[in-house]
Structure 1
Amino acid sequence: MTTGGRSSGHVRLKDVAALAGVSMKTVSNVVHGYQHVSPQMRERVQAAIDELGYRPNLTARRLATGRTGMVALALPEMDQPYFAEMARLIGEEATRRGYRILVEQTLGEVEAERAVLRDREEGLVDGVIFHPVRIGTVEIARLQPDTPLVLLGEAALPLTADHVMIDNTAAAHEAVGLLLAQGRRRIAFLAAVRGDITASTRVRLLGYQEALVEAGIDPDPGLVLQSDGFALEDGVRAVSQALESDVDFDAVLCRDDLFALAAMRALDAAGRSVPGEVAVLGWDDTAYARNATPPVSSVSPDKKALATTAFDLLEDRMTGFDGLGRHRLTAYSIAERATTSPAPRPAG
Structure 2
Amino acid sequence: MARRVSIKDVAQRAGVSWKTVSNVVNDRPVVRAETRARVERAIEELGYVPNHVGRELRGGPTRTIALVVPELQNPYFARLAELMQVAARDRGYTVSVEVSLGVAATERAHVRGLTPRPVDAVIISPAALTPPDLLDAGGPRVVLLGEMLPAAPEVSHVAIDNVASAADVVRHLVAQGRRRLLFLGGDGAVRSTATDRLAGFRAALRFADLGIDPDRVRTVTDWSREAGRAEMRAVIGAGIEVDAVVAGNDLLALGALAALAEHGLEVPSQVAVVGWDDIPEAAWSTPALTSVAPDLDALISAALDAALAESGGGAVAGAETVVGHRLVERGSTSAVVRG
Moved more, 84-93 or 312-321: 312-321
Q: Which residue of 2 aligns with 1:204?
A: 197
Q: CA deviation at 1:119?
A: 4.0
Q: How does 1:44-55 map to 2 (within 5 A)?
A: none
Out of 270, 290, 295, the residue aligned to residue 277 of structure 1 is 270
User: Is the 8 Å Cα contact of residues 73 and 128 (structure 1) preserved in structure 2?
Assistant: yes
Taking the aligned partners of 1:288 and 1:196, their CA distance within structure 2 comes to 32
Q: Which residue of 1 aligns with 2:111?
A: 117
- 1:25-67 CA-to-partner distances (Å, cap 9, x unmatched) read xxxxxxxxxxxxxxxxxxxxxxxxxxxxxxxxx9878766812
- SS of the aligned residue for 1:128 comes to strand
Instruction: Please say if 1:108 is aligned against 2:102.
Output: yes
Residues 266 and 157 (structure 1), Cα distance of their counterparts in 2 relative to 1, 3 Å cut: same
Taking the aligned partners of 1:268 and 1:83, their CA distance within structure 2 comes to 27
Q: Which residue of 1 aligns with 2:210?
A: 217
Q: Normalising to structure 2: TM-score of the pair?
A: 0.77
Q: Which residue of 2 aligns with 1:251?
A: 244
Out of 309, 322, 334, the residue aligned to residue 329 of structure 1 is 322
Moved more, 177-186 or 242-251: 242-251
- SS of the aligned residue for 2:136 comes to helix
Which residue identity is paired with 1:294? P
Taking the aligned partners of 1:291 and 1:320, their CA distance within structure 2 comes to 38
Q: CA deviation at 1:113?
A: 0.8
Q: Percent identity?
A: 36
Out of 180, 187, 193, the residue aligned to residue 181 of structure 2 is 187
- 1:151-192 CA-to-partner distances (Å, cap 9, x unmatched) read 212241422211111111111111111111111111111133
Out of 33, 51, 67, the residue aligned to residue 73 of structure 1 is 67
Q: Which residue of 1 aligns with 2:296?
A: 303
- SS of the aligned residue for 2:287 comes to coil
Aligned length: 287
Instruction: Please say if 1:162 is aligned against 2:159.
Output: no
Q: CA deviation at 1:288?
A: 2.7
- 1:194-223 CA-to-partner distances (Å, cap 9, x unmatched) read x99771211111110000001111211111
User: Is the 8 Å Cα contact of residues 305 and 315 (structure 2) preserved in structure 1?
Assistant: no
Residues 218 and 137 (structure 1), Cα distance of their counterparts in 2 relative to 1, 3 Å cut: same
Q: Normalising to structure 1: TM-score of the pair?
A: 0.75
- SS of the aligned residue for 1:142 comes to coil
Residues 312 and 344 (structure 1), Cα distance of their counterparts in 2 relative to 1, 3 Å cut: same
Q: Which residue of 2 aligns with 1:87?
A: 81
Q: Which residue of 2 aligns with 1:292?
A: 285
- 1:277-307 CA-to-partner distances (Å, cap 9, x unmatched) read 1110011111231222221000111111111
CA RMSD of aligned residues (A): 2.6
- SS of the aligned residue for 1:325 comes to coil
Taking the aligned partners of 2:157 and 2:281, their CA distance within structure 1 comes to 27
User: Is the 8 Å Cα contact of residues 72 and 78 (structure 2) preserved in structure 1?
Assistant: yes
- SS of the aligned residue for 1:129 comes to strand
- SS of the aligned residue for 1:74 comes to strand
User: Is the 8 Å Cα contact of residues 305 and 313 (structure 2) preserved in structure 1?
Assistant: no
User: Is the 8 Å Cα contact of residues 134 and 155 (structure 1) preserved in structure 2?
Assistant: no
Taking the aligned partners of 1:67 and 1:161, their CA distance within structure 2 comes to 19
